[in-house]
Amino acid sequence: MSPASSTSKPSELHEHVVRQLIERGRSQGYLEADDVRRAFEEADIPVSKASSILRSLSKEGVTVMVSAADSAAPKRARNSSKRATPATKKTKTTAATKEQDSVTAVVEDDAEAPPKPARAKKSAAKPKKAAPAKKSAPQPVAKAVKEPEDGEDVSDADIEVTDIDEADLNDLGDDVVAADLETGVDDTDTEVVAEAAPEAEPEEAPAPAAEKKPTSEDESFVIGDDDEDAPAQQIAAAGATADPVKDYLKQIGKVPLLNAEQEVELAKRIEAGLFAEEKLALERTVLEFQVLDDLEWIAEDGRRAKNHLLEANLRLVVSLAKRYTGRGMLFLDLIQEGNLGLIRAVEKFDYTKGYKFSTYATWWIRQAITRAMADQARTIRIPVHMVEVINKLARVQRQMLQDLGREPTPEELAKELDMTPEKVVEVQKYGREPISLHTPLGEDGDSEFGDLIEDSEAIVPADAVSFTLLQEQLHSVLDTLSEREAGVVSMRFGLTDGQPKTLDEIGKVYGVTRERIRQIESKTMSKLRHPSRSQVLRDYLD
C-alpha cells in the first residue's frame, strides 16, 4: 500500500457516517469502539475503508475508547498470523515521508488488576518528502515476542516485524477493524503501545496499557504541538493566583526569545503557509490527493509558525503597554490591544528587508494602543483625529512653557500651530477631563463637589408661591364671566389641562359651529381686557 493510498480520505458514500461519528464524538468527548463498529456494520463499510475513516476521526480530534476485552482478540489474531508465517525478519522503523497527526487509542481497564507499565515509542516525523513507495510493497506488522518482566525495558530489538500480504488482511475480517480501533493504525506516524501476552497462554487477555483519561479544564490545560520548535505551555489552575496580571506575565515568561535567524525561519514558514492557503482556496477542486495533503500540511505548519512568533514576542507588548498606564485604561486592556497590533505586525512582516521583527512590530503595537486609548479611554468619546490635535496642542504648550517660563497665550499657541486663537480655545475645551460630582472638597473632605452644583430641576419656593397665587387670581377673574365664556376661554388656551383646543373641537363640545365659538372668544377677550379684570393679572407679567 503506497503512502498516497494510505492517506486517502473516505469515499463520498461514507461521508455521512463520518460526519455522524464526528458530531457524536464532539458532543460526548469520545467514541466507544462498539459504536464505531456498529456504525460500520449498518453502513456496510468494507474493512479496507476502516483505517481511512479512523484517521479522519483522529484528524478531527475524536478519541476512540476501546475496552480491554475488545483489545484482546485482535492481539491474538496478530500473534497467530505471525506464527503461521514461515519467514520472519527484524527491521528498523524508518521515519515517515511527512508529518501527520498521530492517533492514540485510549483503553479502558475493565479488570480489577492494576495495569502493568508499558513503554510507548513514537517514530520521529520530519517534513521531508521521499519517493513514493510501490503499491506491491507489503506493510510491516509489529508484534511483541515476549512480555517484559518488571523493571525490564522494551527496546527495538524486542519487536519483530512480519511481512504479510493484502490477502491476509482481508482474511482477518473484523479483527482488523478491532485492531485499528485499538492502536489507531497510521502508515506514517503512529504511537504503538508495546504489550503482549505470553505465547504459552494465548487465551489469557494481555495486561492493559496505562489508562489515559482526558484531563478536565479544572485540573490543567496544555497548549502545545508536535512541532519541536513550537513553544509548549502548561498552565495549572492549582498554581494560579488572584492577580491576573501576575499570572499572565508568568506564562509569557516561559516562552524563550528568538534570535534573528529564528525570526527569518518562522517568517518563511508563515509565507509558505499563506501561499498554500491561497492555492487551496482557489484550486482545491482540481488538485490531486497527494498535492492536497501537502498543501494542507504546509498551511498548518504556517499557522504553527505564526503562533510561535506571536508567543515569543508577547513580552514586547507588555514593555510598551507599561508606558501608557494611568491614562484611563486598565493594564490588561492595554496589553490586549497591543496584542492585536502584534498580530497585525506578524501578518505584514517582510523578512527580506533585513531588520529585526521587534523593530518592525514596535510601531504596530504602539499604534494599536494609542488608537484604543483615543477611542475608549475618555468618558465622553472624542474622534481620533481630534485627539491627535489635542495631544499636539498639549506638547506645544509644554514646550512653550519651558521656553518662555510662563503659560503661553492663545495667540502665541495659534501662531505656533497655524490656527486661529478661537480654534485654540475650542480645542482646549475639548481636552478637558470630566470631574466626578463625588470629588471631595476641603481639607477634611466632608463635602463633595456635587454639593456646589445647583439643581436646575429643583422647585424654588418663591416661584411655587407665585404660581399658586396666579392660579387663584385667574380663577377669580374667570368667575366674573358666564359659564360658557369661561369654558371657551379655558379650553381655547389650555388653562385646565395645559392642552389648547381648536375652534372645531370646542364647537363639538357645545354643539355649535366654529364661527360661533370664535365670536364668543372675541367677546370674552374684550371683557378680560377691561382694567377691572386685567389689572390684578398684569402684575404677574413682570
Compute the mean pLDDT over every residue in the chain, rounded to the nearest whole number.
Answer: 72
Per DSSP, the three-state class of 114 is coil
**Do the beta carbons of residue 511 and residue 529 sit within 8 Å?**
no
State yes or no: pLDDT of 512 exceeds 80. Answer: yes
The three grid cell numbers given for residue 514, joined into one nine-digit string? 366654529
Partners of 191 in the beta sheet? 122
Per DSSP, the three-state class of 141 is strand
Residues with Cβ within 8 Å of 296's Cβ and at least 6 positions away in sequence, in order, are: 276, 280
The three grid cell numbers given for residue 371, joined into one nine-digit string? 488608537
Instruction: Name the nearest CA neighbour of 91 among 176, 154, 148, 163.
Output: 163
Q: Where are the domains of the chain?
A: 3-193, 384-452, 461-541
Note the pLDDT of residue 51.
Answer: 77
**Do the beta carbons of residue 331 and residue 245 sit within 8 Å?**
yes
Mean pLDDT of 271-288: 84
Partners of 192 in the beta sheet? 121
Mean pLDDT of 252-261: 92
More confident residue, 435 or 227: 435
Residues with Cβ within 8 Å of 309's Cβ and at least 6 positions away in sequence, in order, are: 258, 263, 266, 267, 270, 346, 357
Mean pLDDT of 147-169: 42
Measured CA to CA, the distance from residue 270 to residue 277 in angstroms comes to 11
Q: Write the single-letter amino acid at 239.
A: G
Q: Write the single-letter amino acid at 526.
A: S
Instruction: Name the nearest CA neighbour of 349 among 334, 329, 364.
Output: 364
Partners of 7 in the beta sheet? none
Stretch (H or E) spanning 487: helix 483-493
Note the pLDDT of residue 441.
Answer: 86
Alpha-carbon torsion (236, 239, 245, 246), positive or negative? negative
- Equal fold, 384-452 vs 461-541: yes
Instruction: Name the nearest CA neighbour of 480 among 535, 432, 518.
Output: 535
Q: Which CATH architecture has domain 384-452?
A: Orthogonal Bundle (1.10)
- Domain 461-541 sits in CATH at 1.10.10.10
**Do the beta carbons of residue 188 and residue 126 sit within 8 Å?**
no
Note the pLDDT of residue 239.
Answer: 55
More confident residue, 280 or 194: 280
State yes or no: pLDDT of 427 exceeds 80. Answer: yes
Measured CA to CA, the distance from residue 303 to residue 164 in angstroms comes to 39
How confident is residue 398, by pLDDT bands cut at 50, 70 and 90?
very high
447: which DSSP letter? E
**How far is CA 98 from each of CA 89, 142, 156, 276, rounded to the nearest angstrom?**
26, 21, 22, 16
Tell me if the pTM is above 0.75: no
Residues with Cβ within 8 Å of 24's Cβ and at least 6 positions away in sequence, in order, are: 31, 35
Measured CA to CA, the distance from residue 14 to residue 93 in angstroms comes to 32
Q: Write the single-letter amino acid at 147.
A: E
Q: What does the DSSP assignment read for 169-238? A: HHHHTHHHHHHHHHH---SSS-EEE-----TT-TTSPPPPPPP--PPPTTTEEEE--S-TTSPPEEEEGG
89: which DSSP letter? B
Measured CA to CA, the distance from residue 180 to residue 183 in angstroms comes to 5
Residues with Cβ within 8 Å of 498's Cβ and at least 6 positions away in sequence, in order, are: none
**233-250: pLDDT as tens digits:** 444 444 556 788 899 999
State the CB neighbour count (10 A cutoff) for residue 490.
Answer: 18
Note the pLDDT of residue 124.
Answer: 38
Instruction: Name the nearest CA neighbour of 391 among 341, 338, 362, 428.
Output: 428
**339-378: pLDDT as tens digits:** 999 999 999 999 999 899 999 999 999 999 999 998 888 8
Helices (H) and strands (E) in the chain, counts: 21, 11
How confident is residue 130, by pLDDT bands cut at 50, 70 and 90?
very low
Phi-psi region at 80: left, alpha or beta (left = phi > 0; alpha = psi -120 to 50): alpha
**43-78: pLDDT as tens digits:** 777 766 777 777 777 777 777 776 544 544 444 444
